[in-house]
Amino acid sequence: MSRRDELIAKYASDMEAKLGMKPDMDLLTKVTIGCGPSIYRPDSETVASGDPEEMARVRQNFLVKKLGLTDGPELDAALDAVIERYGRSNRSKYRPVVYYLLCEHFGKQSVYG
């Protein structure tokens, strides 16, 4: 099993344990691949939800640029909802899982189709 496959399995397990959901493995794989090399670095593999600059980067680089959404207060509300769902006190909010949940929230799975 490749390192990427191991990480995808880890993210799927995390989603089952912390969110009580069985992810669409095809979508999770595509989202993980879309994250590029950031998944291999511990500091960029996770999303620092308490850092306003990090959340602004997720909003701008993922929601606006990747998903093609219009920047506005609904993006912040969605980020807040996803972080709440994943667990604010959870220190390891994996980037691919957060992005997966945001895709699901906005019904933008087709971006990875």
Q: Which domains does the chain have, with CATH numbers?
A: 3-112 (1.10.238.120)
Q: What is the pLDDT of residues 46-59, one digit of tens each?
A: 999 999 999 999 99
- Confidence (pTM): 0.96
Cβ-Cβ contacts under 8 Å for 7 (sequence gap 6 or more): 32, 39, 40, 45, 96
* β partners of residue 94: 46
Which CA distances in Å does 20 have to 3, 8, 46? 24, 17, 19
Q: What's the pLDDT tens digit per position in 9-47?
A: 999 999 999 999 999 999 999 999 999 999 999 999 999
